[in-house]
Structures are given as C-alpha cells and as structure tokens.
Chain A
Amino acid sequence: MNSQNPYTPVPAELVEVHDETPTIKTLVLAPSEPVEFKAGQFVQLTLPGVGEAPFTPSGSPREKDRIAITILRTGVVTDRLHECRPGQTLGLRGPFGKGYPLDKLRGREVLVVGGGVGLAPLRALILALLPETDTIARLSIRYGARCMEELLYRNQHAAWAAQKKVDFAATIDRPQPGWTGPTGVVTTLLKNLDMDKANCLAFVCGPSIMLKFATYALEAEGLAPQQIYLSMNRRMSCGMGLCGRCNIGPYYLCKDGPDMNYGTIKDYPNVF
C-alpha cells in the first residue's frame, strides 16, 4: 500500500501469464514493494490509464514477493488485462477487506464450494490450509464449471485430493465426451452431504445466482446461516469503505467482507 496516498497503486511487474481456460488467465505479479495479504483479502489491480478492478489473489499468502491473480475476461478492464504480456507494469492497491476467518477453522470440517472463476479466491484458502490440515478436521472441496475446458486449475485437483484429510469433487454442467465425473450444476454435489454438519463451516464463491442456490442447498442439508460464508464480490470502487458503493445494510463488503457470514446479512434484501 502506498503510505502517502491510498489511491496510488504500487507498481507491479507482470512476470508470468498462464492460460488457465479459454476465458481465464492467471497473471503473476512482482510488486515493487511487498504487498502482503491474508487469504481472502483482495487487491485493486490497475491497468495504467485504463482502470482498476478488484480481485482476490489466488496464490498462497505465504509467497511474499509474487502475487497470483486469476482473471475471467468479462468486460472493459478484464478484456484488456487478458492482452497483457510479461514485462508490462501494472499496479496494485491493497490489500483490502478482512480475509477468511482462519482462526475459526481449528478442529472444523471445512467445506469449500466454488463455481467457475469463483475457485480462484478459494484457492488462496485451500493453499493456506493445505500445509496445516492437522489443525482442521477435514477439507472438502466441491467445484462446478460450465464444461471440461472451463475447469480451473485442472492439473492441481489430483494433488489436492491426494493430501491427508482432503477430498475433492468437480462437476460440469452437461455431459461431454471424455468426462466421467458428475454432471449438473455445483449444487448437485451438495446433496446428501457426508459431513459432520454441526462442526462444518462452508465457504462459497461464484456468480451471485450460484451463491444463492448453494446457500439454499446448504441450508437444506441442515447448515445454519452462521455456518455459511459467502464471497460477496460485488461492484466496488475504492475498496476501503469510502465510496459507499458496496453496502449491504450497514456493512461495506470491501471493509467488512468480501466474505460475509450469511447469518449477518441474510435479513437484508438484495443479498443475492
């Protein structure tokens, strides 16, 4: 963070670009001064002269001099970010937000539910937990994408699943040649959840329609609203509680979130 002016981005060199899927790339940045973040905190990424967009770094928070950001192309800034090449200078502001409540996960069964590019912010949580699985009861990952080609981090799934206490399942929307796994939207993986429901905390990230149906599915499985955390990745501008844009009731998602306990926000309209 620029200590004089929180609006000024810290220059960051783009050092690697990974094609993840036809619509998603991961940009790896080397900031000119350390930008340390906790899993679940987000940054504002500047494309000089074009604008900013908020992203939750998808890499391990333990890596201090590199920041990985996984980006779906979907509009003005993200389209242009997809055209960036290594060597270019971008900018970073942040980190902003609270980050995942890692202190609440001790001894818990952790359920991670991702939809599409929503697995990106959740990967920071997964990577934070993998080296410490002895402190939690279980890490269960449920992931859905539109089709096989759109499955994010596909070459890492097996390695995650191979770890102690970790299980992983992915689904794609419709059957496809070469796919032997489950089909249907991600909520189909949440039916008859074989978990210790009283001791479970769920973290959900994806498009708002997916957040909605995943929440309903988890409630149907017997989870209380307080056991569900939702990544409320809504329109943001300042990222620091000044511009007023991102409120749900008295909460600013940029400051009090972006991951919000569903129990805290559920009584406000327009949550989904």
Chain B
Amino acid sequence: METHYVQNADLLQTLGGPRGKRMIGPAPTPALAWLVSMQDSASLDGLTQPRAAQSPKSLFLPPSESVSTYGPRASPTATETQPLVMLGVRACELRARNYLDKVLAGGEFHDPAYRRRREAITIVSCDCADCAESCFCTLVGGQPFATEGFDVNLTPVDGGFVAEVATDKGRQWLGQIASTPAAPAQLAAREKLRKEMTARLHKQNAAYATSAFESVPAKLPEGDDEGWQTFAADCVECGACTHICPTCHCFYLYDQAAGEDRFERVRTWDSCLLSTYHRMAGTFGMKPTPRPRLSSRLANRVLHKFVYSLRQYELPGCVGCGRCVDACLGAIDIRRVVRDLSA
C-alpha cells in the first residue's frame, strides 16, 4: 500500500476551520481523550493518547434515531448523510465496526440508517502510541495498530505521521494535505512503535494471558453456573458496560406520533443487563421474564461476546478496548471474569 509522510503542522492545518466541522476526533484531556468535533479542538495530542473514553459507535449507531416514518402523510426518513471524517480511530474500534457491519448490514436484513451513516464516513485511523491500563486487544486476537478496514491509517513518528492509504476516499482526503513519500527510516520507526506497543500490551495483560483466552470460543460455563453469581454480586445493573461497548448493538424500537397522520419509529439503545430487557406481557406483578436473575443476564452478555458471536458471525464480540472495565460501577473486570470462570 502507498505510504506517505505528513508533518504535524500540515495535518494540524486541516483541523479547525471549515474542514474540521465535519471531522470528529480525540481531544486531549488529562485522563482519557474525548471525542469531539475537531473544529472545537484543533490539536493532535489526542492522537498519541490512549484510545478515547467513548467509543465511536454512536457515530454509526446513535443512542436514539428515527429509522422510519409511516402513515398517510409520512415523508421518507431523512437520515443525515453528510460526509464525516473520523480521525484517530483505533484498531480495536475498526474491528468493532467490522462486527457491527456483519450484524446490521451483513445478513438477510439490513439496517438502512446504519448503512447510510457508515457509507458517509471516511475513516482516518491511528496506531496506538499509548494505551490505557484496561486495554487488552492482544488477548482477544487484536493488535494496537490497524492493517485493514481504514481509508487512511496514521502512525505517529518523529515530527509527524506515516500515512498509509487504502482507498480512493482516503487518497482524496490525504490529497488535501502536503505530504512526501515515507522514507525508510520513517517506516522503520513505525515498525518499532508497533513492536513496542504490542510488547507493552502483552506485558500489562500477562496475568490474564492464560489458556482461558487462547481457546476460541472460550470455555465458559452457561449462565446457571454459580460462578457468575460472584461477579453479578458487584453489578448494579446500570448498563454502562453495554452502552460504552463498541460492539454492543442491542436496541428496541418504539413508535410515536410525528405530526398529523404521521408516525415515526425510533431505534434506541437497550441493555441486556437490565431486568426489563426480556420482560414479557402478563398479568401485572407477574410478568414472566426468561432471565429473571442478574447473574444469568451478566453471563449472557459475556457468553455472547466470547462464545455465541463466534457461532453467529464468526467474529469475537469483544475487541479488548477495556472500556467496560473503566466504566463499571461495580469494578467488574471482564478479563478476570473470563479467566476465572473458564475451566
């Protein structure tokens, strides 16, 4: 693939101003970077911080959006399809996007709103030059740099970035920025960073790198196993883990009036951890639910990621970004769950 070299100052010029308006990227903070419009934060520093606190999932699959209007006076659903550049997407996030593609646009039925957003996005990914303590991509078959799935991929090297172009969309984006062909020394620096980061991730996850993670799918017990209760005891059923997760895509649909003789159907994130998630109709006070126990819902979430997804999509449902580890109010670390419960 073509590799170029872009100087920091030249890349910085494309942020801010009108072009930054349709560009979302990481703004540096003292803790984790935060995804914002680059018009408001013309800085490259977020690119060399660990992955951002939020995942970019909401750019493809917003927390709530109208997916259909119907009724005698309905107009076709207008989903925003303005082009958008996503800057600084990490390798784990690309794997997650790949997973969402399979779920929402890879089977018999496609989600049209997802597809429209997906197609309007140019992905400028970036290798990790730092990682969070909770990052564990290397445990689940990933690595801290992307080799596919992007339009352009950046690697921070001395004074700038090596930019690898994979698509025409990417070539067009990079065409707006002054660049030179990447020199051998710059490519060597890229290799060095990739090796160092991979080694660092292996090291920080050494305590979890057991046979539990080597076996794919994981040898986890089903939800009725008592082991799940130990972890469920710490879960406060907030749903933070599912909402922050870049692959979790559970939603529900609800309908509402959108004017006279016009109705709209809204797709809203849902969480399989919540007690209302599976609840069925029935006499008030005794609505039956197939997973009444929190431990079986927690088990279902983890099993879906590490076992069922492989059967359904031939992909693991966990990309190792570690966000659920950071977000969990009960301090449940999914690495520990998988390690301790895999026989």
Nearest chain B CB to A64 CB, angstrom units: 22
On whether the beta carbons of A249 and B308 are closer than 8 Å, the reply is yes
Give chain B interface residues in 206-256, CB to chain A under 8 Å.
Answer: 222-224, 249-256
Nearest chain B CB to A232 CB, angstrom units: 9
* Contact status of A250 and B281, CB under 8 A, knowing A7-B68, A51-B255, A208-B288: no
B152 at the interface (CB under 8 A from A): no
On whether the beta carbons of A245 and B252 are closer than 8 Å, the reply is yes
B110 at the interface (CB under 8 A from A): yes
A133 at the interface (CB under 8 A from B): no
Measured between beta carbons, the chain A residues less than 8 angstroms from B328 are none
Measured between beta carbons, the chain B residues less than 8 angstroms from A244 are 249-251, 272, 304
On whether the beta carbons of B222 and A268 are closer than 8 Å, the reply is yes
B267 at the interface (CB under 8 A from A): yes
Among A7, A52, A238, chain B packs the most CB atoms within 10 A around the CB of A7
* Contact status of A5 and B77, CB under 8 A, knowing A91-B70, A208-B288, A245-B250: yes
B336 at the interface (CB under 8 A from A): no
Measured between beta carbons, the chain A residues less than 8 angstroms from B110 are 6
Among B111, B255, B279, B288, chain A packs the most CB atoms within 10 A around the CB of B255
Nearest chain B CB to A56 CB, angstrom units: 15
On whether the beta carbons of A243 and B109 are closer than 8 Å, the reply is no
**CB-nearest residue of chain B to A244:** B250
A182 at the interface (CB under 8 A from B): no
CA distance A9 to B279 in the complex (A): 24
Q: Which stretch in A42-50, A193-201, A218-226 binds the other chain?
A: A42-50
* Contact status of A7 and B267, CB under 8 A, knowing A48-B71, A243-B251, A269-B224: yes
A78, A207, A240: the one contacting B108 at CB < 8 Å is A240
Nearest chain A CB to B176 CB, angstrom units: 34
**CB-nearest residue of chain B to A240:** B109
Measured between beta carbons, the chain A residues less than 8 angstroms from B97 are none
B265 at the interface (CB under 8 A from A): yes
On whether the beta carbons of B290 and A234 are closer than 8 Å, the reply is yes
**CB-nearest residue of chain B to A1:** B109
A241 at the interface (CB under 8 A from B): yes
A8 at the interface (CB under 8 A from B): yes
On whether the beta carbons of B307 and A49 are closer than 8 Å, the reply is no
Nearest chain A CB to B280 CB, angstrom units: 5
A49, A75, A238, A267: the one contacting B263 at CB < 8 Å is A49
Measured between beta carbons, the chain B residues less than 8 angstroms from A5 are 67-68, 77, 112
* Contact status of A48 and B111, CB under 8 A, knowing A7-B67, A243-B252, A244-B272: no
Measured between beta carbons, the chain B residues less than 8 angstroms from A247 are 300, 304, 308
* Contact status of A235 and B112, CB under 8 A, knowing A8-B70, A269-B296: no
**CB-nearest residue of chain A to B72:** A89
On whether the beta carbons of A237 and B255 are closer than 8 Å, the reply is no
On whether the beta carbons of B253 and A7 are closer than 8 Å, the reply is yes
B164 at the interface (CB under 8 A from A): no
CA distance A271 to B250 in the complex (A): 20
CA distance A243 to B253 in the complex (A): 9
A158 at the interface (CB under 8 A from B): no
Nearest chain A CB to B311 CB, angstrom units: 4
CA distance A267 to B303 in the complex (A): 14
**CB-nearest residue of chain A to B66:** A7
A156 at the interface (CB under 8 A from B): no
CA distance A52 to B263 in the complex (A): 12
* Contact status of A241 and B67, CB under 8 A, knowing A208-B288, A269-B296, A270-B296: no
A180 at the interface (CB under 8 A from B): no
**CB-nearest residue of chain A to B288:** A208
Among B109, B279, B288, chain A packs the most CB atoms within 10 A around the CB of B109
Measured between beta carbons, the chain A residues less than 8 angstroms from B281 are 74-75, 78
On whether the beta carbons of B70 and A74 are closer than 8 Å, the reply is no
Nearest chain B CB to A255 CB, angstrom units: 8
Measured between beta carbons, the chain B residues less than 8 angstroms from A9 are 68, 70
Measured between beta carbons, the chain A residues less than 8 angstroms from B249 are 242-244
Among B108, B257, B312, chain A packs the most CB atoms within 10 A around the CB of B312
Measured between beta carbons, the chain B residues less than 8 angstroms from A78 are 281
Give chain A interface residues in 224-272, CB to chain B under 8 Å.
Answer: 234-235, 237-238, 240-245, 247, 249-250, 252, 255, 267-270
Measured between beta carbons, the chain A residues less than 8 angstroms from B103 are 242
List 6 additional contacts besides A243-B249, A269-B223; criterion CB under 8 Å. A48-B70, A208-B288, A235-B280, A237-B270, A244-B272, A250-B312
**Chain A interfacial positions (CB closer than 8 Å to B):** 4-9, 11, 46, 48-52, 74-75, 78, 89, 91, 207-209, 234-235, 237-238, 240-245, 247, 249-250, 252, 255, 267-270
Provide 23 A-B residue pairs closer than 8 Å at the C-beta atoms, listed in order of the A residue.
Answer: A4-B112, A5-B77, A7-B111, A8-B69, A8-B265, A46-B255, A48-B255, A49-B256, A49-B263, A51-B254, A52-B255, A78-B281, A89-B72, A235-B279, A235-B290, A241-B107, A242-B249, A243-B251, A243-B253, A250-B308, A250-B309, A270-B290, A270-B291
Q: Which 8 A-B pairs have the closest CB atoms?
A: A269-B224, A244-B250, A250-B311, A240-B109, A250-B308, A75-B281, A7-B68, A8-B68
